[in-house]
Chain A
Amino acid sequence: MSDEMDEIINDFLIETTEIVDDLSQKFVELENDKDNQELVNGIFRSVHTIKGASGFLGFNQMVQLTHLTESVLKKIKDGDIPLTPGVMDVILESIDMVKVLLEHIKAKDGIEEDLTGILALLQGVYDQAGAPAAAPPPQTIQQAEIPAAPAEDTASSGGSGPTIEELDALMEAQSDQLLRPVGEILVEGGSVTTEEVDDALKIQNMIKESVDTGEVPKVGDILAATEKVSKDEVKKALSKQTQPEKDKPPQQAEQTIRVDVERLDNVLNLVGELVLARNRLMKVVSNLELKYTDNTDVAPLAELTAFINLITTDLQLAVMKTRMQAVRKVFNKFPRMVRDLARSMKKDVELALSGEDTELDKSIIEEIGDPLVHLVRNSVDHGVEMPDVRAAAGKPRGGTVLLSAYQEGNNIVLSIEDDGKGIDVEMLKEKIVEKGLSTPDELERLSTKEILDYIFLPGFSTAKVVSDVSGRGVGMDVVKTNIMKLNGTITIETEKGKGTKFLLRLPLTLAIIQALMVGVGTEVFAVPLASVVETVRIDQSNIKTIRGQETVILRNEIVPVHRLANKFFLPMGQSNGGHKMYLVVILIGEKKFGMMVDKLFGQEEVVIKSIEGFSNSSEGIAGATITGDGKVVLILDPAVMFVGDLRT
């Protein structure tokens, strides 16, 4: 019994959490579109559903709260209470409390929240409508007598019944068959216009409200009575209504099953191992091919290996797909957040979303929330100006923040764009000098992009007045670190007076990457290919030391050079004495630098294995992998490895 209940409660939590998330969005929409009756109805029904389900499972606090919220919503629905921002705040607060209660249910801690405050607020709003008494408290159970049912024995089918998955599928399948409203059919048939149907619906509503009991006329009847359409036509439409559209092929139910994340992680891990084994196999086979060119057994082996390679790649993609989730999951919380922020700052800000269906790996979705929150807050707080300031600058009083996601090659790009005041680079420079982070002379030599990068340094804040919203300059550096941890990059584009745009580029997945294998002395390292721009062969004589920093000039661009050997205290290989060496040019954000190595081995697909716990000084190491020839190789994280040097 308790297991079953657990399962139902689990489902209840999933369903209600979805509803609540959806609600927040609907409320924000509603505030901009106050007369949207459909939205109000939708919200009312959602709260009603939560109440019903909570009652069924005996969550009394939730019933108490949702009952009063529902009563208030009903008044709004009926037009008894105007939807003012104040009323909206109270309702949103009650929804927040619903979330808190859901958390308690989830944690099974049995803690009861003190609801008196929020209930009093709701009651206040409710009474505002001039209602003499509160809504009747929800009745627990009321039972009517059971009239004796006609005695007839149908064989009851016992058995264990369908599984949850089957049940879900069954529900989905059954929910496809919805009847279409008569009005819609009539409009489609050209008999009436949409306006006429709307009028008829209004009449129907009026009748519904004024008549307590008795029949409410059908839309078709009203249309016929007001002579918009003939009775025959209504009849025809009705017959079409009861006939499910037969020409359409039966829609397949969307079948989904829930799988424990742990299991998926395990599958991904195994696929990782498979990729590694595949890499080794391919290496062995290519060696064999070279050794035994004439042997007839080698060709089929090579063929089979190629096939296994293909399947492995497909499998890897398929498994990665199972872990993909739409960014909608993250984006959904922003409309509400922006609304609250804008209100607390007395600004007028609209949040536009685009590309919510873009998919990212689950682990990235989980990590990206906090950095995004910070950036969006930042745009609302520092980007968008006060309405008066905007008006004076000839802009619309309301600002817009656009949050979008799209795919670009092997990356997913998330952008946060505002039409605010932009970043004043001159002011930024002053600030940099003031903070002693650089000198005016140095700044003169930097490009705008490089100057903007100072924003990501720890402890940097440009806000003259520190507001409690975007914090005190803590954050931007944390944002950057978090993005880099995800193998992503962050860049800023800004134009004074026009706005600012933050671009986050993230990899599709974290587990498997393309890497460039490089050698220093006898050691081999893997460098994530995403950050590699090019590799060049340079001569020792090309290296010039400028103010203690080794640099080379590549196509008229000065690129600082770092020796990988020095980082790992390795002796340089044979090329040390020679004159030729390889430079791996790496681009991190807008920063370009070269990493000097002895050998280049080529590109390889590597599976990142964490080495946490094995070493306490893993700075600059993203992980380890096993190469085709069975060697364990460290994967470098050039962004972190040279980050200290980047600041000089």
Chain B
Amino acid sequence: MRIMIVDDDKTTRKILGLYLKGKGHVPVFAENGLDAIEKLASNEVDLILTDLNMPYMDGIELTKTLKNDPAFQSIPVLMLTTETDDAERKKASDAGINAYMVKPVSADSVSKMIKEMIIIKQQ
């Protein structure tokens, strides 16, 4: 699977990327929402893991944009964030994210979640 990791933090991208690579996936990196949209134009991905708070375009805006675009709306979006505020979560789910995990997340739980999302996607 090709999985896009959208996070403005280099270390997070790297560690997530290495981990996913180890699981046999191909990671694609983006630093923020705008960067992600630009990279989606030239990269086909099967799943997007995105952070919430990022400069220029945050995860919610990114999701909104993608879900309104017929070309990308089918890509599942998994949001990883430190935000525990219910209002923020509601905003995220309104935007159309497919799943939500609160950081810090463990490697296993991310892996499990990705598996579940793949299954749902394939149904």
Cβ contacts under 8 Å, B21 to chain A: 161-162, 164, 167
State how many angstroms separate the Cβ of B28 from the closest Cβ of chain A.
8
Query: Known: A141-B105, A141-B106, A144-B100. Contact between A212 and B18, CB under 8 A?
Result: no
Cβ contacts under 8 Å, B113 to chain A: 143, 146
**Contact present for A15 and B26 (CB under 8 Å):** no
Query: Known: A141-B106, A156-B1. Contact between A171 and B13, CB under 8 A?
Result: yes
Cβ contacts under 8 Å, B30 to chain A: 174
Cβ contacts under 8 Å, A177 to chain B: 31, 35, 38
Please, how many angstroms separate the alpha-carbon atoms of A51 and B100 in the complex? 19
State how many angstroms separate the Cβ of A79 from the closest Cβ of chain B.
20
- With CB as the reference atom, state the residue of chain A lying closest to B43: A174
Contact indicator per residue, chain A 162-184, by CB within 8 Å of chain B (1) or not (0): 10100110110011011101000
Please, how many angstroms separate the alpha-carbon atoms of A12 and B10 in the complex? 11
**Contact present for B1 and A157 (CB under 8 Å):** yes
Query: Known: A56-B104, A143-B109, A144-B89. Contact between A171 and B10, CB under 8 A?
Result: yes
**Contact present for B22 and A8 (CB under 8 Å):** yes
- With CB as the reference atom, state the residue of chain B lying closest to A3: B22
Contact indicator per residue, chain A 127-155, by CB within 8 Å of chain B (1) or not (0): 00000000010111111111111111110
Please, how many angstroms separate the alpha-carbon atoms of A213 and B83 in the complex? 13
**Contact present for A151 and B123 (CB under 8 Å):** yes
Tally of contact residues, A, Cβ under 8 A = 63
Q: Contact check: which of B2, B18, B26, B34 meets A179 at CB < 8 Å?
A: B34
Please, how many angstroms separate the alpha-carbon atoms of A79 and B39 in the complex? 38
Cβ contacts under 8 Å, B13 to chain A: 171
Tally of contact residues, B, Cβ under 8 A = 61
Asked if B68 is an interface residue, CB under 8 A from chain A, the answer is no
Asked if A487 is an interface residue, CB under 8 A from chain B, the answer is no
Q: Which of B2, B17, B88, B107 has the most CB of A within 10 A?
A: B17
**Contact present for B104 and A45 (CB under 8 Å):** no
Nearest 7 Cβ contacts at the A-B interface: A55-B104, A4-B22, A144-B100, A142-B102, A152-B74, A149-B76, A156-B1
Q: Which residues of B contact A (CB under 8 A)?
A: 1-2, 9-19, 21-22, 24-27, 29-32, 34-35, 38-39, 44, 46, 56, 73-74, 76, 82, 84-85, 87-89, 91, 93, 98-107, 109-110, 113, 116-118, 120-123
Q: Beyond the given A141-B106, A149-B120, please list 13 additional residue pairs across the A-B interface where CB-CB is below 8 A.
A: A1-B22, A7-B22, A15-B14, A15-B15, A55-B104, A141-B105, A152-B74, A154-B44, A157-B26, A164-B18, A171-B17, A171-B29, A177-B31
Q: Which residues of A contact B (CB under 8 A)?
A: 1, 4-5, 7-8, 11-12, 15-16, 19, 45, 48-58, 63, 136, 138-154, 156-162, 164, 167-168, 170-171, 174-175, 177-179, 181, 212-213, 242, 244
13 example contacts (A-B, Cβ-Cβ < 8 A) are as follows: A4-B19, A49-B9, A55-B105, A57-B106, A143-B113, A144-B99, A146-B120, A149-B117, A157-B2, A159-B24, A164-B21, A178-B31, A242-B34
